[in-house]
Chains A and B, each alone.
Chain A
Amino acid sequence: MGAGRLYAAVAAGGFRRYATYRAATAAGVFANTVFGLILVHTYLALWDERPQLGGYDQAQAVTYVWLGQALLAAAAIGGGGFEDELMERIRTGDVAIDLYRPADLQLWWLAADLGRAAFQLLGRGVVPFAFGALFFDVELPSRPGVWAAFLVAVVLGMVVSFGIRYLVALSAFWLIDGTGVAQMAWLAGFFCSGMLLPLNVFPGGLGEAVRALPWSSLLQAPADVLLGKADALGTFAFQAAWAVALLAAGRLVQSAATRRVVVQGG
Chain B
Amino acid sequence: MAESSAAGRRVGENRLVDGVRAYRMIAAMWIRSTMAYRASFAMTTLGNFAATALDFVAILLMFSRVDALGGYALPEVAFLYGLSSVSFGLADLAIGSMDRLGRRLRDGTLDTLLVRPAPVLAQVAADRFALRRLGRVTQGALVLAYALWTVDIDWTVPKLLLMPVALVSGAGIFGAVFVAGAAFQFVAQDASEAQNAFTYGGTTLLQYPPTIFGKELVRGVTFVLPLAFVNWLPAAYVLDRPYPLGLPGWVAFTPPVVAVACGALAGLAWRAGLRTYRSTGS
Interface size band for B: 35 or more
Chain A contributes a number of interface residues (CB within 8 A of B) equal to 36
A257 part of interface (Cβ distance < 8 Å): no
Query: Which stretch (A46-54, A81-89, A213-221) binds chain B?
Result: A46-54
B208 to chain A, nearest CB (A): 5
When the two chains form the complex, which single residue of B47, B69, B189, B205 contacts A183, counting CB atoms closer than 8 Å? Answer: B47
Contact with A along B57-80 (1 / 0, CB 8 A): 110011011111110000000000
Nearest-neighbor residue (CB-CB) of A49 within chain B: B66
Asked if B193 and A45 sit within 8 Å, CB to CB, the answer is no
A223 to chain B, nearest CB (A): 17
When the two chains form the complex, which single residue of B50, B57, B70, B198 contacts A196, counting CB atoms closer than 8 Å? Answer: B57
A202 part of interface (Cβ distance < 8 Å): yes
Known contacts A41-B213, A183-B44: A46-B194 contact under CB 8 Å: no
B246 part of interface (Cβ distance < 8 Å): no
Asked if A196 and B54 sit within 8 Å, CB to CB, the answer is yes
Asked if A31 and B190 sit within 8 Å, CB to CB, the answer is no
Asked if A203 and B193 sit within 8 Å, CB to CB, the answer is no
A9 to chain B, nearest CB (A): 26
Query: Which stretch (A20-28, A108-116, A234-242) binds chain B?
Result: A20-28
CB-CB < 8 A to B44: which residues of A? 179-180, 183
A147 part of interface (Cβ distance < 8 Å): no
A243 part of interface (Cβ distance < 8 Å): no
B184 to chain A, nearest CB (A): 10
Known contacts A31-B201, A180-B47, A196-B61: A44-B212 contact under CB 8 Å: yes
Asked if B69 and A46 sit within 8 Å, CB to CB, the answer is yes
A42 part of interface (Cβ distance < 8 Å): yes
Known contacts A41-B214, A184-B47, A201-B65: A24-B201 contact under CB 8 Å: no
Asked if B61 and A24 sit within 8 Å, CB to CB, the answer is no
A229 to chain B, nearest CB (A): 18
Known contacts A46-B66, A203-B61: A41-B191 contact under CB 8 Å: no
22 chain-A/chain-B pairs, Cβ below 8 angstroms: A24-B193, A26-B191, A27-B190, A27-B194, A30-B197, A31-B201, A38-B204, A38-B205, A41-B208, A42-B62, A44-B212, A45-B70, A45-B208, A46-B65, A46-B66, A46-B69, A180-B43, A187-B50, A187-B54, A196-B54, A197-B61, A203-B64
**Partner-A contacts on B (CB < 8 A):** 40, 43-44, 47, 50-51, 54, 57-58, 61-62, 64-70, 188-194, 196-198, 201, 204-205, 208, 212-214, 217
Apart from A27-B191, A183-B44, A202-B61: 15 A-B pairs, beta carbons within 8 A: A21-B190, A31-B193, A34-B201, A35-B197, A37-B217, A41-B214, A45-B69, A45-B212, A177-B40, A179-B44, A180-B40, A184-B47, A186-B51, A187-B51, A196-B61
**Partner-B contacts on A (CB < 8 A):** 21-24, 26-28, 30-31, 33-35, 37-38, 41-42, 44-46, 49-50, 53, 177, 179-180, 183-184, 186-187, 190-191, 196-197, 201-203
